[in-house]
Chains A and B, each alone.
Chain A
Amino acid sequence: DTEVTQTPKHLVMGMTNKKSLKCEQHMGHRAMYWYKQKAKKPPELMFVYSYEKLSINESVPSRFSPECPNSSLLNLHLHALQPEDSALYLCASSQEQGGSGNTIYFGEGSWLTVV
């Protein structure tokens, strides 16, 4: 079972709201990722967690705050977002971070609209 589950599927939030995106995997993977994808563009990496510790932050603005409460869960807390942050947010996981055979599995994504 190669499943990464993301909730909610759709989220509309105002610029002053605080909301969270959630991601869960039960494959025993120790690396989890957040990617952002704008329409008609490829996904771009935001954060990488390895063994529940933040490993890579791609200079993401602080209005995006990731959290990894345990090895199966990954959250993305959102606060004071801008309309240009509207995008598809994709969570992914892999057995480990890095390695020649490191298959990375993605969820269905959460569509975020900031109004």
Chain B
Amino acid sequence: SQQGEEDPQALSIQEGENATMNCSYKTSINNLQWYRQNSGRGLVHLILIRSNEREKHSGRLRVTLDTSKKSSSLLITASRAADTASYFCATEKNQGGKLIFGQGTELSVKP
């Protein structure tokens, strides 16, 4: 069974607004990684947050991790039309090397 669930499944916003996506998982993890996937393309790695970290930033991205609630969020600030894509969270369990993906959030940013 899938480790992660994401919500919302789809999100539509205007350019310049912030977008927040949430991810929940079920078991203990080594790390949690966020990826972006444009339609029909491969996965682009966005950010990795270790299980002992609570928050990380990268440019317009902010990721939080709450291991007590087994949840993470990805915030994209000042969104652009080019941010339109599917976003996946993926957890790596203690077994190592096996990423289990959430169902993904489809983000649409309207110009």
Nearest residue (CB) in B for A6 is B42
By size class, the interface of chain B is 20 to 34
Report the minimal beta-carbon distance from B68 to chain A, rounded to whole angstroms: 18
- Given contacts A42-B104, A43-B43, A90-B42, whether A100 and B30 have CB atoms under 8 Å apart is yes
Q: B33 contacts which of A35, A50, A104 (Cβ < 8 Å)? A: A104
Q: Is B48 in contact with chain A by the CB < 8 A criterion?
A: yes
Q: Is B11 in contact with chain A by the CB < 8 A criterion?
A: no
Q: Which of B13-21, B73-81, B95-103 contacts A (4 or more CB under 8 A)?
A: B95-103
A-side contacts of B42, CB under 8 Å:
6, 90, 106-109
Interface residue count for A (Cβ, 8 Å)?
32
Report the minimal beta-carbon distance from B87 to chain A, rounded to whole angstroms: 11
Q: B43 contacts which of A45, A55, A100, A106 (Cβ < 8 Å)? A: A106
A-side contacts of B95, CB under 8 Å:
98
- Given contacts A103-B33, A106-B35, whether A50 and B97 have CB atoms under 8 Å apart is yes
- Given contacts A106-B42, A107-B42, A108-B41, whether A100 and B31 have CB atoms under 8 Å apart is yes
Report the minimal beta-carbon distance from A103 to chain B, rounded to whole angstroms: 5
Q: Is B57 in contact with chain A by the CB < 8 A criterion?
A: no
Q: Is A62 in contact with chain B by the CB < 8 A criterion?
A: no
- Indicate if the CB atoms of A102 and B96 lie closer than 8 Å: yes
Report the minimal beta-carbon distance from A65 to chain B, rounded to whole angstroms: 20
- Indicate if the CB atoms of A109 and B41 lie closer than 8 Å: yes
CA distance A19 to B104 in the complex (A): 31
Q: Is B45 in contact with chain A by the CB < 8 A criterion?
A: yes
Sample of 22 A–B contacts (CB below 8 Å): A33-B97, A33-B99, A42-B103, A43-B99, A45-B98, A45-B100, A56-B97, A56-B98, A92-B43, A94-B97, A98-B97, A99-B30, A100-B30, A100-B51, A101-B31, A102-B30, A103-B45, A104-B92, A106-B42, A106-B44, A109-B42, A111-B40
Query: B-side interface residues toward A, CB under 8 Å?
Result: 2, 30-31, 33, 35, 40-45, 48, 50-52, 88, 90, 92, 95-104
